[in-house]
Structure 1
């Protein structure tokens, strides 16, 4: 199976560190973020990984090479202008079978084989791994019907499903990605929905951190000794 890791962003949320080190190479414990992803994917049956790179691409290539030492084949697609979060897929020409897509700053214990099976069972065009998050509203919220108040709710907590940055794609998705044109994932997903494609969610309540956020990045460092055996449990 094949995976695409999207790692071309400038890592603005982690500056100033990412001014000199691309986000995929930021350390988590004793290894870079991206090595954790590679090891997880390899242990879940992925034998080829394509990195979509941009910012400081040469450093990622120098560290990872051809992937031989990880037991996978690694190749690269490099954008020479910003293409958003899904636009870089237009540069990868031979995605002919079901494939995984991951953000390069994801840390999770999600079972990639299971989400792939779920995707096939659901006959999805795209499956989005989602995590439930609670949002605290620090105000009294007014519900209304026109000018008539129907309910006054004090400091409600709203539960939402958010994208984890892990996806399973069918090759048909690529027909919605214009060549070398800026396109973000929400716009791509909405295109698919408007065309009545099968867009499904894979709810997941296990470990998930967005390492592009300082809060998550720092938290993971604090608890890494406990997290590591869970994150790499399939090895």
Structure 2
């Protein structure tokens, strides 16, 4: 039961909050760092090992998490000397991982059942499983289609729905083994290569709570709603 937490990004979109802190350590609800919540959740689902891929301000993450004993999880680290995108860092420590493992961004707040995702991946025998979420976006304009200079359809301020990646994945060593190490390689590169080879990834549709804390507005929303979501996000016993 091994999880990889991607915590090496610079958090540029979340500045000024990330000027002095790496994004996984920004506080939520004045009591917890995002990474604290994630580690509590992982342990509650039975994960007993985690590898943190660190880079920008990684020493602060190491000082905060240590060996993981506070959460009952054995934690080790893999440090990026240069940015390697989403999948690139994992390729450098692939031999330390079991055949099937969880990968997640270190800035995600969700009540997703991580164990259920990993079990779904194993049962599907998929090369990759992506946790997906339906987002709705309200368009503030009338949208239209044209043909030969004529308007053929018109919708006033529609709401568009589309599936997005939650930044949480289940992966297998045999899928990643063929790719080269020490070069930038993103999830988009992996998915497009799998699609081109006809080795289709699996989706794991989720309808609970999910927030990717990428921008100041997202961070403000997370803090504003944390008290209402405390019992959802924190394992039983920590939510009191």
TM-score clears 0.5 = yes
Deviations 1:120-156 (A, max 9, x none): 2222111111111112233333335666654222322
Q: How many residues align?
A: 235
8 Å contact from structure 2 (residues 83, 184) kept in 1: yes
The alignment partner of 1:19 has SS state of coil
Match of 2:192 among 182, 190, 203: 190
Asked whether 1:141 is paired with 2:138, we answer no
Alpha-carbon RMSD across the aligned residues, in angstroms, is 1.7
Match of 2:229 among 223, 227, 230: 227
Match of 1:181 among 178, 183, 198: 183
Deviations 1:29-74 (A, max 9, x none): 2011101111101111111100001001111111111111211100
8 Å contact from structure 2 (residues 44, 235) kept in 1: no
Distance between the aligned counterparts of 1:140 and 1:31, measured in 2? 42
2:14 equivalent in structure 1 = 14
Residues 234, 116 of structure 1: CA spacing in aligned structure 2 closer, same or farther, 3 A cutoff? farther
TM (norm. structure 1) is: 0.93
Residues 163, 176 of structure 1: CA spacing in aligned structure 2 closer, same or farther, 3 A cutoff? farther
Residues 138, 225 of structure 1: CA spacing in aligned structure 2 closer, same or farther, 3 A cutoff? closer
Structure 1 spans left out of the alignment, 5+ residues: none
Residues 176, 149 of structure 1: CA spacing in aligned structure 2 closer, same or farther, 3 A cutoff? farther
8 Å contact from structure 2 (residues 39, 71) kept in 1: yes
Structure 2 spans left out of the alignment, 5+ residues: none
Distance between the aligned counterparts of 2:196 and 2:223, measured in 1? 41
Distance between the aligned counterparts of 1:74 and 1:146, measured in 2? 61
Distance between the aligned counterparts of 1:102 and 1:160, measured in 2? 21
The alignment partner of 1:217 has SS state of helix
The residue correspondences of 1:81-160 to structure 2 (distance < 5 A) are 81-94=82-95, 95-144=97-146, 149-160=151-162
Runs of 4+ in 1 over 4 A off after TM superposition: 144-149
Residues 123, 150 of structure 1: CA spacing in aligned structure 2 closer, same or farther, 3 A cutoff? farther
1:64 equivalent in structure 2 = 65
Deviations 1:100-122 (A, max 9, x none): 00000000001111112222222
Distance between the aligned counterparts of 1:24 and 1:60, measured in 2? 8
Distance between the aligned counterparts of 2:232 and 2:52, measured in 1? 25
The residue correspondences of 1:28-67 to structure 2 (distance < 5 A) are 28-29=28-29, 30-67=31-68
The alignment partner of 2:120 has SS state of helix
Residues 147, 201 of structure 1: CA spacing in aligned structure 2 closer, same or farther, 3 A cutoff? farther
Residues 67, 106 of structure 1: CA spacing in aligned structure 2 closer, same or farther, 3 A cutoff? same
TM (norm. structure 2) is: 0.91
Distance between the aligned counterparts of 1:143 and 1:43, measured in 2? 50
The alignment partner of 1:161 has SS state of strand
The alignment partner of 1:17 has SS state of coil
Distance between the aligned counterparts of 2:54 and 2:118, measured in 1? 24
